[in-house]
């Protein structure tokens, strides 16, 4: 399997991984185990996904059965918004390690560049994007990213995580972070699909030696079950004539084509599927190459359509 070399350490991060977002607790342990058994060597999780214990069960079962060793698999998790204060970062990373049942995480990301009011895990965990359940309103606090980043760097020093990174950051915030970072971010994770290509951000991030992970690579497909209003206004990426036409030409699935559109450009992807056949098909996206013209055709589908946007939260928090 192809891999991305992380500039900060020289470590290899698999180009195609498995994303745990929206994998139910009931099926998660088996799904992660089956993904590993099928060949996946990167699992992307987060505190907010509410299934890290189950993810850990799947990973540890695969290790126990000798399918993999710990060093064979790359585990990503993310620090939620309510834990940005310096005194909370390390304890919450240790909480993540406890949930996974692991001694270290390979990559720990700041999930959003937003600091919300702290809620003790004994009160509510896993966290959510609201601090007041009854009012349904998020409360924010003035914790600078520099404070959170310094605490994450200390976690690297202690061996709790091998790498640190960022998610949902814009170029301005990344430029600012690079002025004070003692340990540079290894990875930026962003929403990236044919309807939201973000070429200028990607070019800048690559120029800084930061790897890119794309989430929601299938675009609206990831948000159908969430009844996102924008899904109704555009054809599904996997049903678009451009994508289906290219898929037919190569004898591949539309999903494989869209994933290859990303991976062929060196962008790491983390698709999720509960279907074993599609799970295996997604992993095989590197078995063929698109032409430069085909990549351009897919990129030209861009309409700057973002689905995961804090501007839609309550209250609205525009960050892009």
- What residues does each domain of the chain span? 10-191, 220-304
Length of the chain: 320
Is 104 one of the annotated active-site residues of the chain? Answer: no
Cα 289 from chain centroid? 24
Whether the pLDDT of residue 21 is over 80: the answer is: yes
Whether the pLDDT of residue 218 is over 90: the answer is: yes
Q: Is 190 helix (H, G, I), strand (E, B) or coil?
A: strand
State the CB neighbour count (10 A cutoff) for residue 147: 16
Q: Measured between alpha carbons, how far is residue 99 from residues 54, 256, 268 in Å?
A: 8, 32, 25
Please tell me the predicted confidence (pLDDT) of residue 134.
Answer: 55
State the CB neighbour count (10 A cutoff) for residue 158: 12
Cis peptide before 315 (omega within 30 of 0): yes
Cis peptide before 189 (omega within 30 of 0): no
> What share of the chain in percent tops pLDDT 70?
97
Task: For residue 177, give the nearest of 155, 203, 141, 153 by alpha carbon.
Answer: 153
Whether the pLDDT of residue 133 is over 80: the answer is: no
How does residue 233 score in pLDDT terms, banded at 50, 70 and 90? confident
Q: Which of 33, 40, 49, 118 is catalytic?
A: 49
Average pLDDT of span 53-64 = 98
Average pLDDT of span 217-221 = 92
Mean pLDDT check: name the lowest of 98-112, 147-161, 212-226: 212-226
How does residue 132 score in pLDDT terms, banded at 50, 70 and 90? low
C-alpha dihedral sign at 40, 46, 49, 53: positive
Whole-number average pLDDT of the chain? 94
Please tell me the predicted confidence (pLDDT) of residue 136.
Answer: 61
Could you tell me which residues come within 8 angstroms of residue 258 by beta carbon, excluding any fewer than 6 positions away?
A: 193, 194, 217, 218, 237, 238, 243, 298
Please tell me the predicted confidence (pLDDT) of residue 50.
Answer: 94
CA angle, residues 5, 8, 11, in degrees to nearest 5: 40
In the block, which residue shows the tokens 């309409």?
Answer: 303
Average pLDDT of span 304-317 = 90
What's the token pair of residue 219? Answer: 């675009």
What pTM was estimated for this model as a whole? 0.96
User: What kind of architecture, by CATH, is found in domain 10-191?
Assistant: Alpha-Beta Barrel (3.20)
Q: How many whole angstroms separate alpha carbon 267 and alpha carbon 286?
A: 12
C-alpha dihedral sign at 94, 100, 106, 112: negative
What's the token pair of residue 167? Answer: 């998610």
Backbone φ and ψ for 290, nearest 5 degrees, come out as -90, 155
* 251-268 per-position pLDDT tens digit: 999 999 999 999 999 999
Please tell me the predicted confidence (pLDDT) of residue 45.
Answer: 98
CB 302 within 8 A of CB 197: yes
How does residue 138 score in pLDDT terms, banded at 50, 70 and 90? confident
CA dihedral 256, 259, 262, 264 (to 10 degrees): -40
Q: Measured between alpha carbons, how far is residue 205 from residues 76, 209, 213, 319 in Å?
A: 19, 7, 11, 17
Whether the pLDDT of residue 86 is over 70: the answer is: yes
240 is in an annotated binding site: no
């Amino acid at each position: 399997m192809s891999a991305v070399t992380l500039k900060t350490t020289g470590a290899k991060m698999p180009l195609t991984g498995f994303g745990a977002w929206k994998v139910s607790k009931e099926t998660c342990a088996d799904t992660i185990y089956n993904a590993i058994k099928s060949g996946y060597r990167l699992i992307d999780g987060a505190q907010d996904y509410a299934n890290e214990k189950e993810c850990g069960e799947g990973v540890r079962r695969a290790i126990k059965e000798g399918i993999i060793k710990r060093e064979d698999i790359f585990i990503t998790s993310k620090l939620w918004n309510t834990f940005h204060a310096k005194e909370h970062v390390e304890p919450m990373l240790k909480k993540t390690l406890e949930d996974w049942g692991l001694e270290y995480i390979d990559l720990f990301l700041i999930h959003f560049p937003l600091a919300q009011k702290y809620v003790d895990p004994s009160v509510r965990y896993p966290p959510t994007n609201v601090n007041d359940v009854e009012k349904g309103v998020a409360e924010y606090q003035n914790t600078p990213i520099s404070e959170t980043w310094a605490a994450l760097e200390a976690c690297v020093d202690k061996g709790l995580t091998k790498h640190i990174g960022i998610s949902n950051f814009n170029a301005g915030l990344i430029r600012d972070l690079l002025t004070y970072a003692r340990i540079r971010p290894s990875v930026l994770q962003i929403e990236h699909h044919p309807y939201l290509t973000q070429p200028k951000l990607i070019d800048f991030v690559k120029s800084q030696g930061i790897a890119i992970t794309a989430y929601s690579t299938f675009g609206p497909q990831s948000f159908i079950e969430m009844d996102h209003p924008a899904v109704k206004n555009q054809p599904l990426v996997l049903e678009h004539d451009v994508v289906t036409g290219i898929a037919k030409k190569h004898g591949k699935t539309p999903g494989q084509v869209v994933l290859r559109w990303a991976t062929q450009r060196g962008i790491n992807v983390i698709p999720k599927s509960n279907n074993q056949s599609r799970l295996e098909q997604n992993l095989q996206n590197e078995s063929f190459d698109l032409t430069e013209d085909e990549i351009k055709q897919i990129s030209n589908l861009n309409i700057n359509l973002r689905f995961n946007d804090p501007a839609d939260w309550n209250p609205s928090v525009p960050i892009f």
